[in-house]
Structures are given as structure tokens and as C-alpha cells.
Amino acid sequence: MNIRSLGGSKYWLMLKDDFTHYRTCYFMKTKSEAPAKIESYLRLVENQLGRRVKSLRSDNGTELKMDKLGIFHTFTNVDTPEQNERVEREMRTIFEAARAEIQADGLDERLWAEAMNHAIFTIN
């Protein structure tokens, strides 16, 4: 994002469960926080559902090593959103919904994280 959120975040990470299509979003101040957020999500899923995540698909943007967790990690090619088009399209939809909400209500642009949370909550 071009502007930091009220909480100081500049990046966002969306994780989607392929079975339930439930989306979870994390906001980060730096990209280096992504591996910790993903591991936190994996622990949350395991504790809440009593099931282990078996595979993870990412756009090769993080340095997360899933080998140590016993998770099959597949990658799409870098800069090819066509290989992960469903999630890319959803991320664009969420971003545009948040932007429309901010513009329609005349809100401060620093509220982008809250608007994105609202859009994800509505879609879920």
C-alpha cells in the first residue's frame, strides 16, 4: 500500500482455505513478518479444527520453509498471477471494495486496513 494504516501497516497477507473458502487477513509493517504470520495461522487452524494443514500454495514471495513443518509447499512462478488467478482475483475484489468504501464515505485513506477487514468479513 502507498499509505500506512492507522496501525502502521503497509502490507497485507490473505490466506484462504480451499475447502471452506474462508479468508483470513493479516496486516504487517514489513514483509519479513509474513513467515511468522503464516506459522501463526497454521497453529490456529490445527488448534481450532484439530486437523493439520497438508499443503500450502504460495506465489514464491516469502522465504518460508515448510519442510520443517511437514507441509507440502508448492509455488507458482514469480510474477505470473495467472497461475493463482482465483486468489489474485479475490484480492483485487477485496482491495477495490475497500477503496470504494473509503471513497464513498469520504473516509481517511489510512483506514484501508479496517475497510479491507470489513470487505473480507462481508465476503466470508
Which tens digit of pLDDT belongs to each residue from 81-100? Answer: 676 677 778 888 999 999 99
Confidence (pTM): 0.82
30 pLDDT tier (thresholds 50, 70, 90):
very high
pLDDT beyond 70 at 48: yes
How is residue 47 written as a grid cell? 488448534
| Residues whose CB falls within 8 Å of the CB of residue 12, separated by 6 or more in sequence, listed in order | 1, 25, 26, 27, 28, 113, 116
pLDDT beyond 60 at 41: yes
Rounded to an integer, the average pLDDT of 57-70 is 68
pLDDT of residue 81: 66
pLDDT of residue 90: 86
